[in-house]
């Protein structure tokens, strides 16, 4: 059973899965033995909007941390997602081709993007945010967005 | 001309999302169908009238097959038709339609870009297919009942 850190800001509730790491833009990295599964945080998917298309780099692509790993087109924006770790893409979620809405429906499980064979996970995880650190960062960003939206309404 | 008037007029209820691109696509498609492509077989009902509880609008959706076009996953059009006692014969979600026509990326709000217009036309064509099926079914039923209603 997944455990979450959770916060409600205005009418939105955001969850941060407690069993993985995050880069600053909200891409999570979950170690699974020797491999790293990646995906979008709940906050990132909610702020981005309903996903229309997701294009993930194909299996075999070599990545450095910070390289583009996927492009997501939503009803609001196109966003380039960067890899939280260096390594090689060894699996892409087939749902990204057929049902990318899984990102919105289940960002921490069925909506995963890819699995990466990390080059040096033990070192790179030090550059990522643990769940509490990401939660604190996300909270600030969420509150700023709500304030900005309120400002636009008045 | 003495062509038989269809007994069923399919009601079209689009999204009311003003200021949203996908809502605009839904309304443009609805206008295409009810104004140009199948004006005799369809009627447009504004979602806002259902929200306000307008009796004419409620009667229209309660008494006719209804096609809803939702601009987002909240699916307000579909929910409101059901709450108004209507039967949703088919619900369309603009995002799902866009996934079938990736080349038509809609942009703009008050005025759609060309791709958005093309997406609206593509959606309208899909709606027409359903309208034709519904009106054909209705016509078949009337004929098998000896031309009587009900």
Residues B88-92: contacts with CB within 8 Å, 24+ apart? B89/B10, B89/B65, B89/B130, B89/B134, B90/B127, B90/B130, B91/B67, B92/B26, B92/B29, B92/B67, B92/B68, B92/B123, B92/B126, B92/B127
Asked if the C-beta of B4 comes within 8 angstroms of chain A's C-beta atoms, the answer is no
Calculate what percentage of chain B has a pLDDT beyond 90: 77
- What tens digit of pLDDT does each residue of B14-48 get? 999 888 899 999 999 999 999 999 999 999 999 99
pLDDT band at B142 (very low <50, low <70, confident <90, very high): low
Calculate what percentage of chain A has a pLDDT beyond 90: 88
Chain A residues lying within 8 Å of B22, measured CB to CB: 75
Please tell me the distance in Å from B95's CA to the nearest CA on chain A. 6
How much is the pLDDT for A151? 72
> Do the beta carbons of residue B66 and residue B11 sit within 8 Å?
yes
Q: Is residue A107 part of a domain?
A: yes
Domain that holds residue A33: 22-136
Q: Is residue A116 part of a domain?
A: yes
Q: Is residue A10 part of a domain?
A: no
- What tens digit of pLDDT does each residue of A18-72 get? 999 999 999 999 999 889 999 999 999 999 999 999 999 999 999 999 999 999 9
Q: Which of B21, B73, B102 sits opposite A53 (nearest CB)?
A: B102
How many domains is chain A built from? 1
Q: Is residue A2 part of a domain?
A: no
Q: Is residue A75 part of a domain?
A: yes
How many domains is chain B built from? 1
Q: Is residue A58 part of a domain?
A: yes
Q: CA B95, B13, B26: angle at the middle one, nearest 5?
A: 35
> Is residue B65 classed as helix, strand or coil in its secondary structure?
strand
Q: Is residue B58 part of a domain?
A: yes
Task: Record the pTM.
Answer: 0.83
Domain that holds residue B22: 10-142
Asked if the C-beta of B104 comes within 8 angstroms of chain A's C-beta atoms, the answer is no
CATH number reported for the structural domain that contains residue A61 in this entry: 2.40.50.100
How much is the pLDDT for A33? 87
Q: What is the ipTM of this complex?
A: 0.74
CATH number reported for the structural domain that contains residue B88 in this entry: 3.40.50
How much is the pLDDT for A1? 83
- pLDDT score of A106 more than 50: yes
A52:B72 CB<8 A: no
Gap between the Cα atoms of A117 and A89, Å rounded: 6
Q: Is residue B147 part of a domain?
A: no
Q: Is residue A154 part of a domain?
A: no
- pLDDT score of B126 more than 90: yes
Q: Is residue A132 part of a domain?
A: yes
Q: Is residue B149 part of a domain?
A: no
């Amino acid at each position: 059973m997944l455990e979450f850190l959770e916060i409600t800001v205005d009418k939105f509730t955001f969850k941060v899965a407690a069993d993985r790491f995050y880069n600053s833009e909200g891409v999570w990295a979950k170690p699974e033995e020797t491999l790293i599964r990646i995906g979008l945080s709940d906050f990132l998917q909610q702020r981005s909007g309903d996903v229309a298309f997701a294009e993930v780099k194909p299996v075999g692509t070599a990545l450095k941390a910070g390289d583009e790993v996927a492009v997501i087109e939503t009803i609001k924006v196109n966003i380039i997602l960067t890899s939280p770790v260096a390594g090689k893409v060894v699996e892409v979620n087939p749902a990204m081709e057929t049902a990318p809405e899984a990102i919105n429906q289940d960002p921490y499980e069925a909506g995963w993007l890819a699995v990466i064979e990390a080059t040096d996970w033990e070192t790179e995880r030090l550059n990522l945010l643990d769940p509490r650190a990401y939660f604190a960062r996300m909270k600030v960003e969420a509150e700023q967005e709500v304030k900005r939206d309120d400002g636009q309404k008045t | 001309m003495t062509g038989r008037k269809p007994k069923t007029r399919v009601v079209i209820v689009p999204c009311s999302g003003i200021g949203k691109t996908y809502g605009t696509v839904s309304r443009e498609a609805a206008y295409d169908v009810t104004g140009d492509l199948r004006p005799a077989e369809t009627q447009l009902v504004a979602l806002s009238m259902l929200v306000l509880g307008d009796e004419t609008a409620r009667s229209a959706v309660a008494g006719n097959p209804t096609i809803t076009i939702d601009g987002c996953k909240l699916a307000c059009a579909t929910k409101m038709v059901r709450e108004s006692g209507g039967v949703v014969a088919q619900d369309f979600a603009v995002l799902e339609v866009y996934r079938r026509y990736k080349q038509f990326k809609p942009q703009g709000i008050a005025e759609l870009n060309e791709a958005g217009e093309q997406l609206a036309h593509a959606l309208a064509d899909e709606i027409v297919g359903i309208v034709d099926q519904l009106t054909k079914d209705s016509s078949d039923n009337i004929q098998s009942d000896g031309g009587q209603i009900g």
